[in-house]
Amino acid sequence: SQTIHQWPATLVQPVGSPLSLECTVEGTSNPNLYWYRQAAGRGLQLLFYSVGIGQISSEVPQNLSASRPQDRQFILSSKKLLLSDSGFYLCAWSISGRSYNEQFFGPGTRLTVL
Amino acid sequence: KQEVTQIPAALSVPEGENLVLNCSFTDSAIYNLQWFRQDPGKGLTSLLLIQSSQREQTSGRLNASLDKSSGRSTLYIAASQPGDSATYLCAVRKGSNYKLTFGKGTLLTVNP
């Protein structure tokens, strides 16, 4: 069966510090991968998605970037965090090439920027 | 721009009651609709996915319906239990774009 991991589970960072969040998927190959952010009082917002190694699409302009160095690894980064980057970050995957594209989510990372 | 609305924002019911959660979307040209459950501080658990050509999907005590022409979906939970307490989210996908547009969710509390 497939599993998705995210770490760290929680993170407290000062404004201006760098960020690296990691997501890995097991039990499948060549998945589509997604990064979402859930901010307090707001719905989930898609930040990035990837259909393959090195292929990243950005949904919204922001202070963040994403990379996919390996088939089942997706990394969310920032060079300098802002207060507004605080939130709950969720990684998700779906089977590539499937028309129904059901998405499955990881446990999330709670980021607090102080 | 697709907008997804979930009503009510919060719902409290006694254990054993049957209940319906509502989801509406502004653009009926969707590819599919997915219902999720989110426990506090946790990730999302996929409950049901309905393709645009389907009218409903069932899983255990859950039944989701889709009326694409009117831009509505409902999630029916039978014989609710305290363990069903969570936030329920619906999300729609449009066309070949992978993007899911989410509603803000309904916070369900089932009281023992």
pLDDT per position as a tens digit, A13-65: 999 999 999 999 999 989 999 999 998 877 899 999 999 999 999 887 678 99
- The predicted-structure confidence for B71-104, as pLDDT tens digits, reads as follows 999 999 999 999 999 999 999 998 766 789 999 9
B53's CB contacts (< 8 A; 6+ apart) are none
The C-alpha angle B103, B109, B110, rounded to 5 degrees, equals 135
> A21 touching B, CB under 8 A?
no
CA distance A14 to A31: 33
Percentage of the residues of chain B whose pLDDT score is greater than 90:
83
Could you tell me the pLDDT band of residue A99, with boundaries at 50, 70 and 90? low
The average pLDDT across B9-32 equals 95
Residues of chain A found within 8 Å of residue B96, distances taken between Cβ atoms: none
The average pLDDT across A68-93 equals 96
Interface contact A101-B31, CB threshold 8 A: yes
Q: Which two tokens stand for residue B57?
A: 């999907």
pLDDT at B97: 65
Write down the mean pLDDT value for chain B. Answer: 94
Percentage of the residues of chain A whose pLDDT score is greater than 70:
96
* Maximum distance among all Cα pairs of chain A, rounded to whole angstroms: 42
CA distance B111 to A84: 36
CA distance B61 to B77: 6
* Res A82 pLDDT > 90: yes
Interface contact A34-B51, CB threshold 8 A: no
> B62 touching A, CB under 8 A?
no
Write down the mean pLDDT value for chain A. Answer: 92
Q: How distant, in Å, are the alpha carbons of A4, A40, A110, B20 from that of B40? A: 19, 12, 12, 21
CA distance B31 to B94: 5
> B31 touching A, CB under 8 A?
yes
pLDDT at A98: 63
Among candidates A100, A103, A106 on the partner chain, residue whose Cβ is nearest the Cβ of B100: A103
Interface contact A101-B43, CB threshold 8 A: no
Q: Which two tokens stand for residue A93?
A: 């995957």
Q: Under the phi-then-psi rule, with left for phi > 0, alpha for psi from -120 to 50, and beta for the rest, what region is B105? A: left
Coil vs helix vs strand at A55: strand
Residue of B nearest to A104 (CA): B46
A15's CB contacts (< 8 A; 6+ apart) are A80, A81, A82, A83, A113, A114
